[in-house]
Amino acid sequence: MTPAEIRQEIIDILDDISPDEDLDNLDDQKAFREQLELDSMDFLDIVMELRKRHRVQIPEEDYGHLASMHSTVTYLEPKMKDL
């Protein structure tokens, strides 16, 4: 997957977790938490959905990388480039 495809995949997951959220104006550099009402349960869901959909394993100590869209895509790129 290219970074753009990974980004789209994250958007799909966010849309699935929280369908009422307006994701069109998401600022990739800003933390998800500042823009969306996501709590720790929702973050766990992003991790779980990635595992379910793409068999991507994210160890707990890496959850910090999922802070913003930009950091998430950067973190996932090596893990998902061959998918």
Partner 1 sequence: MYDTIIIGAGMSGLAAGIRLAHFDQRVCILEKHYTIGGLNSFYRMGGRDYDVGLHAMTNFARKGDKKGPLAKLIRQLRFGWEDFKLAEQNGSSIRFPGVELDFNNDIAMLESEIKSRFPDQIDGFRSLCGSLLDYSDMDGDSPDFMRSAREVMAEHLSDPLLIEMLLCPLMWYGNARENDMDFGQFCIMFRACYLEGFGRPYKGVRVILKNLVRKFRGLGGELKLRSGVANIHVEEGKAVGVVLDDGTELQAKRILSSAGTVETMRMCDDITEPDVAKAGKLSFIESISVLDCKPKELGFDRTIVFYNDSPNFHWERPDDSLCDARTGVICSPNNYIYDAEEGELPDGVVRITTLANHDLWSDLPEEKYRAAKVTQYDEAVASAVRFMPDFRSRVVDTDVFTPKTIRRFTWHDNGAVYGAPDKQLDGTTHLPNVFLCGTDQGFVGIVGAIVSGISMANRHCLQV
CB of 35 to partner 1, least distance (A): 12
SS3 state at 24: coil
- Using CB under 8 A as the criterion, which residues of the chain lie in contact with partner 1 when the complex forms? 16-21, 37, 39, 41-42, 44-45, 48, 51-52, 60
Q: Which of 46/76 has CB closer to partner 1?
A: 46
Q: How far apart are CA 36 and CA 2, in angstroms?
A: 24
- Which bin fits 55, alpha (ψ -120 to 50), beta or left (φ > 0)? left
Q: Which of 3/43 has CB closer to partner 1?
A: 43
